[in-house]
Structure 1
């Protein structure tokens, strides 16, 4: 999700370090329904245009959360508990805090510096997600300024424009160094390197990358090709995705989401050999689109990827709470009917350390239990059932 959608700088001091052999911490204190401990072991694979897990097709409903790498253990556990209770299979989170700390946690304060204490929360999230039977997708940088991202890299190396992130050789080297450090790290709770941990389904090169200075899409494509190949040489276990919003580059189109103006050519990225699956996002409130357009957007991406690679509606949000449940029911039903591989709503949040709900900063918050959570849980059951079909 882009920077203008939310403010993301809240933090309550977390719990003390727990060793891998310590007692499991108490979560939210609410009834612990829906545990799925031990479910979903093994690496997710891609065969043709489908995901597979444990030898069976893997269709999923999931979610996103952006604070898993710096909030308290209690808050992390609460989100994971609620995701499991809803029957979700996957959570997408951030794997970057560049430059300034998020109230005490930083993963890369400057290039080539990776303070071990900054990784405690992400270690904890990976460990606990496994306990809840959840897969993770971890994005490795951000198109937007939240938590540093591409603009922080550009500042570090004296650049003047966002898109130098993709072309500056020093920046590309620094990004690769960070990615390699992240993948090779050994989780303090599990003793397992991230690159060997099947809890993680996929690495994402970036959250919502755009390169508007090159409307041909070639600059972004070249960068994605380079970085996806780099990761695959390091890590043959995990899938790689771009993390983009699904913008097309279609000749003769005037719609800004389809005419290449964002420097993204979704179908071209789909063809790259080391990109395992495609993603697309959906925010009609921010994009100025109506609901009929949204339905076409979902169908077009699933149909355009069919026979090529899996495709996931990776982020979606709709602000009108009076009609949201029906809108989400419609969107997720399209994913199901079109045999899309998965979808992940933005965003599941839980409680804060004082027991109050995490604020609805961007207007897209989903909490459990709620009517919206019930709609999404029903969809999750249908997607899991499809994966059990022979």
Structure 2
């Protein structure tokens, strides 16, 4: 039985050094939010909406679509996924299956958000209502905060994770946890907990992210938060850049972007931007992006602007914000939101090709320009051989090693233990110049936990890095 097994090329998007990576190269994108897809897919006569949304995305170069993967209600309709905390409805789940399967058909990726801070589609309110129905006593009434702190409610959330991640898509036969059509999962949309310590949400993220990772070792995971914090350290001056909007950074929202983002199972950071609703000039949105990007890059994590929106002057504002996104290492964002012409939505942020042709043209041009710049970066060869830090690290089951060559060369990759003893030669052979990656699985039965050293040997260089293996 081998100590190390080479895994075929990783088909999943990963995060490394503040960038998204696909097949060893940087993956950057402009995406759209379309929260309603699962709901619409529940009605056979409305499924054309999913096809038309995906066809639109494919046509202008959109690569990623963010959507809801929850629908909780005691009022039964075909789209409801869970009608009780421990009761899941096949009809609603098949609707989500359809969305994921169609994404693959159109060569798109989906971000699946697993819960909602707000009451739309059930959200935390439904979990609290269930708790007051099934758990409450004369001495206890459940409220918003208990979603993050009550073990019974957290167990209900675990059940949602377990049900989705282990589910086999009825259209493709692929389990969600194994499906490369899923870009990532988000734990909850825009979590906040006013009046309570940031610890409550932080500890919840920590618990549920570890539970998620115990089931799914393939996909990236994010919090889905807005970007609120508990102090203004590392942020620009509140008076000069944020119109004295102290609520963004004084802990009143009960969550901390900086603390949450440090969690080891969180693959990339999340922010949303709505300066109009925060009583700020749209220029504050540029600072919001820049500040959070700097914090994220210091953590070596990509920052994804997962929602952004204004109700007025969309073309002008979005153009400036997206230029700021291009200055980040990640260079990725998802606009809120694309509204199909047959969807009724009056929030003022929605757009489509019929009511906003100028905006669509600007977004299309941005995507073309972004793709060109990424292609130029990918075409560059390093001046000398480079060996990068493996990811994820520490290693629980599998990890990916990436390296770059300035010329065609014969290489060998070898793993040693902390005493310098040979564990196994991982790979060797003649490789072309450019970027390379190799994903390996470490045998937990035969290898002890500890520090290991992996080495890249070329014709004229030896490079080494450390990795930590945890059982």
Instruction: Decide which of 221, 224, 228 is 1:243's aligned counterpart.
Output: 224
Larger radius of gyration: 2
Contact 2:131 2:142 in 1 (8 A): no
Map of 2:109 onto structure 1: 135
Contact 1:302 1:311 in 2 (8 A): yes
Distance 1:132 1:199 in 2: 10
Gaps of 5+ in 2: 1-9, 41-45, 133-140, 239-243, 379-471
Q: How do 1:43-192 and structure 2 match up within 5 A?
A: 43-71=12-40, 72-100=46-74, 103-158=77-132, 159-192=141-174
Contact 1:163 1:213 in 2 (8 A): no
Map of 1:24 onto structure 2: none
Map of 2:335 onto structure 1: 345
Contact 2:302 2:329 in 1 (8 A): no
Map of 1:363 onto structure 2: 348
Distance 1:341 1:274 in 2: 22
> Residues 336, 324 of structure 1: CA spacing in aligned structure 2 closer, same or farther, 3 A cutoff?
same
Contact 2:165 2:176 in 1 (8 A): yes
Map of 1:33 onto structure 2: none
Contact 2:117 2:188 in 1 (8 A): yes
Give the stretch that moved more between structures: 99-108 or 134-143: 99-108
> Residues 294, 251 of structure 1: CA spacing in aligned structure 2 closer, same or farther, 3 A cutoff?
closer
Shift of 1:49: 1.3
Instruction: Decide which of 293, 312, 315 is 1:325's aligned counterpart.
Output: 315
- More relative contact order, 1 or 2 (CA 8 Å, 6+ apart): 1
Residue 373 of structure 1 pairs with residue 360 of structure 2? yes
Contact 2:18 2:329 in 1 (8 A): no
Q: How do 1:199-348 and structure 2 match up within 5 A?
A: 199-214=181-196, 216-250=197-231, 255-308=246-299, 309-320=301-312, 323-348=313-338
Q: Secondary structure at the match of 1:315?
A: strand
Distance 2:258 2:373 in 1: 27
Contact 2:74 2:84 in 1 (8 A): no
Shift of 1:104: 2.4
Deviations 1:258-309 (A, max 9, x none): 1111011001111100000001001122211112222111111111211420
Distance 1:295 1:337 in 2: 11
Distance 1:371 1:340 in 2: 26
Q: Secondary structure at the match of 1:378?
A: helix
TM-score (norm 2): 0.70
Gaps of 5+ in 1: 1-40, 353-357
Deviations 1:165-208 (A, max 9, x none): 00011000011011100111111110111111000011110010
CA RMSD, Structure 1 to Structure 2 (Å): 1.6
Distance 2:374 2:298 in 1: 18
Q: Secondary structure at the match of 1:51?
A: strand
TM-score (norm 1): 0.84
Give the stretch that moved more between structures: 375-384 or 84-93: 375-384
Contact 2:38 2:95 in 1 (8 A): yes
Distance 2:220 2:330 in 1: 17
Distance 2:212 2:148 in 1: 16
Distance 1:149 1:304 in 2: 29
Shift of 1:386: 3.5
Give the stretch that moved more between structures: 227-236 or 245-254: 245-254
Q: Secondary structure at the match of 2:84?
A: coil
Map of 2:418 onto structure 1: none
If each structure's strand is expressed as a fraction of its own residues, which one has the higher value?
A: 2
Shift of 1:103: 4.1
Contact 1:48 1:307 in 2 (8 A): no
Q: Secondary structure at the match of 2:194?
A: coil
Shift of 1:98: 0.7
> Residues 55, 186 of structure 1: CA spacing in aligned structure 2 closer, same or farther, 3 A cutoff?
same
